[in-house]
Every structure is written in C-alpha cells, then in structure tokens.
Copies of this chain bind each other. A is one copy, B any other.
Amino acid sequence: MLMKVLTKNTDYAIRALLVLGTHEGEYVSARQISQQQGIPYQFLRRILQELNKNGLTTSREGAHGGVRLEKNPDAIRVRDVIEIFQGKVELSECMFRKQICANRASCVLRHEIMRIEEIVSREFGQITLGKLLTDLTKLNATATMDHTDEFEIINSGSHEKTDCDHR
C-alpha cells in the first residue's frame, strides 16, 4: 500500500473519459456518469469542470446538456490527466536544479529517483484514452455477455464502498 500515483481525482477522471469515449459526439450528463460509474456526483462535477477547462471536453448547459469529448481519444494521454489533477510526474521535489542544496550528499539517490521519474512519466505518456477504449471493447467482446450495455457497475448500489478502485 503505497505510491499514491493515482488519486481519486485522476481515477474518476479517466473513468469518466472512458464513458465519454464510448459516446463520442454525444453530450453525457454528470448524473449519468456518476450513476454508471459509482462516482460521487458532486466530486465528479468538479472533475468534469476541470476537464473542460483543460480542453479535453466541452460542455453544454441546461436540459439535455452534459459533457462531450472534445479531443481525439488518441490524443489524450493518461499522463495529461495525471498532470491536470496531480501536477507534473515527479517523485521528488528537490530543488537541485536551482542550487547546490543542503543535502547534496544524498543526491546520489536523487539522481536515481529522477531517472525512474522519467520512466514512469514516459510510460503514462504512452497510454492513450484511445488505447484504453480499444482494450475495453475487446474486453467486452470476449465477455460474451447477454446484457448489451458496454460497461457499468456490476455489484454495489452506487456510492457504497466499491470493493476496489485504482489506488
């Protein structure tokens, strides 16, 4: 239990984007997404607004309004989402670049951290929403399910402790 690499913000955001990705061109309401994915409504709302501000989605107000995917799924990287909600992918805040620091001796570790930092950043930069959507489609196809809805919560009435999440 460690390495809070994906906070709820990011996790929910990606799930929301996956929903939007399966309804490209259409406006989907926060209410719908919230219910389908079991994401606390108000929390999700803030997240969607953030996605709007960052140009990943656009929204329409009023009845029949909602949020719509604006960018091409292949142009949306998981890293982008992480950066929106959690900032740059950094494992260390050390101010090394600025000056020789007090603990410069330990920089030997810092050097390694930066290296791993870059690896992680690169990896998350290679995962696009498009890829996730493809995987999702395959997953649903293989499942040979009798209910047609692409994906939704199975257990649990929404908002009640889902037995797992992405962190």
A104-B166 CB under 8 A given contacts A3-B3, A109-B132: no
Interface on chain A toward B: helix, strand, loop, or mixed SS? loop
Which of A42-50, A56-64, A66-74, A94-102 has 4 or more CB atoms under 8 Å from chain B? A94-102
The chain B residue sitting closest to A155, CB to CB, is B102
The 28 sampled A-B contact pairs (Cβ below 8 Å) are: A1-B87, A2-B5, A2-B87, A2-B90, A3-B5, A3-B89, A3-B120, A5-B5, A6-B113, A15-B103, A38-B102, A78-B109, A92-B166, A95-B163, A101-B154, A101-B162, A102-B155, A102-B156, A102-B162, A104-B154, A105-B136, A105-B140, A105-B150, A108-B132, A109-B127, A109-B166, A115-B123, A116-B120
Q: Are B88 and A2 within 8 A (Cβ)?
A: yes
